[in-house]
Amino acid sequence: MQEKETQLQQMLTQLRTRVLMMGAAVGIALDEAFAALEENNAIRAAEVVDGDAAINALENEIDELALSLLVRNQPVARDLRFVVGALRMVFDLERIGDEAASIAELTVTLETPLPGEVMEAVGLLMRSAASLYKESMETFRTADHSAALRLCRDDDEITRQEMAALRRVMEFFCGNRDGQSKHFGYEGMNGILICRALNRICRRCANIAEHAYFVEEGIDIKHKPPEG
């Protein structure tokens, strides 16, 4: 083992720090977007929308750092997988940031808070998204490939929760099939858009777990059926 860190090791550490930092920034954006929605707090939501630019800037910075690392050090083995994994990570992180911002935008445009029954079902999906996000970032941080594998295989529950939340939105805003149709305004549409955004966040969390698995094991599990 060498005493002094090589340039490669320094750049890898820097890359890892920046990715974790971007992960933390996206995590805060999600928490804030969710809290703003639950409180129907337009000011809090507007801050999330504003904060998205900082996340985008981090993405650019990490892209440049990764390119420079590749050019200068031509990493191999785990180092190479880490750089490739980091590039894939920031792509998904940036998109999750966008989803947080779009939920916040929808919150700003809500004239009245989502009704309690709707919020209850949306809240369930929201908490799943929040914990999936934390767990997937944790698999990357701790290099826990078995947790990563479990996370990216496990999406039935998310589909079920999204369907339940959408059903609530439809029931509340459109009424029962035989009853009088209620007024389906922006609230109903926003409800649907929020559910979809939450679903996409969950999918991207699964991607993050896939990237963590790739860094550890060197194997792409994307689009591959689970081994039986």
Partner 1 sequence: MTAPDTASGTKLRAMNIDFFYGRNQALQDINLDFPENMVTALIGPSGCGKSTFLRCLNRMNDLIPGALAKGDIILDGQNINTPQTDVVSLRRKVGMVFQKPNPFPKTVFENVAYGLRVNGETKASVIGDKVEASLRRAAIFDEIKDRLHTSALGLSGGQQQRLCIARALAVEPEVLLMDEPASALDPIATQKIEESVRELKSQLTIIIVTHNMQQAARISDRTAFFYMGRLIEEGVTDIMFTRPSLRQTEEYITGRFG
Smallest gap, in angstroms, from Cβ of residue 209 to partner 1? 18
110/221 with CB nearer partner 1? 221
Q: How many residues does the chain have?
A: 228
DSSP E strand boundaries for the chain: none
Site of interaction with partner 1 (CB under 8 A):
1-2, 6, 8, 74-81, 217-219
Task: Report the nearest approach of partner 1 to the CB of residue 76 (Å).
Answer: 4
Minimum distance, C-beta of residue 149 to partner 1, in the bound complex (Å): 16
**Per-residue b/e over 158-183, b at no fewer than 16 CB within 10 Å?**
beebbeebbebbbbbbeeeeeeeeee
CB 59 within 8 A of CB 90: yes
Tell me the CA distances in angstroms from 38 to 30, 82, 108, 201, 220, one per residue in order. 12, 37, 12, 17, 37
For residue 218, the minimal CB distance to partner 1 (Å) is 3
CB of 9 to partner 1, least distance (A): 8
- The smaller minimum CB distance to partner 1, of residues 75 and 115, is found at 75
Encode burial over 127-153: b for 16+ CB neighbours within 10 A, e otherwise.
ebbbebbebbbbbbeeebbebbbebbe
The residue (of 1 and 43) whose beta carbon lies closer to partner 1 is 1
Q: Which is nearer to partner 1, 12 or 22 (CB)?
A: 12
On whether the CB atoms of residues 205 and 129 are closer than 8 A, the answer is yes
Q: Which is nearer to partner 1, 140 or 173 (CB)?
A: 140
